Amino acid sequence: MNNLYIYYSRFVRVIMLVASIVAISGCASYEISSIPARTEVYADNKYMGGAPVEFKRFLPVCTPLTVSKEGYYPYQVMLSFSFGKTYILAKLTQKEPVSFVRTMDPCWASVELRDNVTFEKAWESIADLIVKRFDIEVMSKENGYLRTTWLNSWTGSLREDYRVRVTVKFAPDRKTVEVKSEANYHFNDEWSIGSDTALLQTLKTDIMGTVGRATR
């Protein structure tokens, strides 16, 4: 009877030890932070909360993690099992503005000057419009040509991954002025070349309202 009791006690201890190991090893803890903040965190397509957030998973095997925010490309990774707590910093890439159009061909807008507007008046008015928004890189009144430096804050916030610049040139007869918007979007270590349609339309509207009328 004593031997039976001893064997039984050992068996119970082994069972409890195994149960403890299973309980510990079957649960993993994760802490998710993100750049930028206030992102949404999903594990197995289930909402875990807004980053930074902590949660646990039982026996996680290749659990998909998605961190998302409007205006950014989602951050996605597979969570694998690990002992203790796993820290993940999700860095999201901001999407290009909806007004950005990828193109190798320059996008120009043309405005015909009103009959009562001289070249001198048109040049002064347009230059004044441009310098209020941009720094000037090249300016030649004699040639009727102006080009700005790159601007990284056209979208309303400073973005190192998006920049625009403007070129203005008068036709040889000084009766028409053309304006071009260029835009670059940096993604995956490369600059995509294009144009910003919102910037071009804004400039065209401002020039039309000041010195001209649209021709096309």
Note the pLDDT of residue 114: 92
Q: Is the pLDDT of residue 203 over 60?
A: yes
Structure tokens at 38: 């206030």
Structure tokens at 163: 């920049």
Q: Is the pLDDT of residue 22 over 70?
A: no
Angle at Cα 184 formed by Cα 180 and Cα 189, nearest 5°? 165
In the beta sheet, which residues pair with residue 195?
101
Note the pLDDT of residue 106: 78
Provide mean pLDDT across the span 98-118. 91
Residue span(s) of the chain under CATH 2.60.40 come to 25-94
Angle at Cα 179 formed by Cα 151 and Cα 134, nearest 5°? 25
Q: Is the pLDDT of residue 14 over 50?
A: no
The better pLDDT of the pair 15, 53 is held by 53
The pTM assigned to this predicted structure is: 0.75
Q: Is the pLDDT of residue 147 over 80?
A: yes
Residue span(s) of the chain under CATH 3.30.530.50 come to 100-214
Type of residue at 195: S
CB 147: neighbour CB atoms within 10 A? 18
CATH class of 100-214: alpha beta
Structure tokens at 183: 């835009």
Q: Is the pLDDT of residue 121 over 80?
A: yes
Sheet hosting strand 27-35, strand order edge to edge: 53-58, 27-35, 85-91
Note the pLDDT of residue 15: 46
Note the pLDDT of residue 1: 54
Q: Is the pLDDT of residue 18 over 60?
A: no
Note the pLDDT of residue 124: 95
Question: What topology is assigned to 25-94 in CATH?
Answer: Immunoglobulin-like (2.60.40)
Q: Is the pLDDT of residue 46 over 50?
A: yes
The better pLDDT of the pair 13, 201 is held by 201
Type of residue at 87: Y
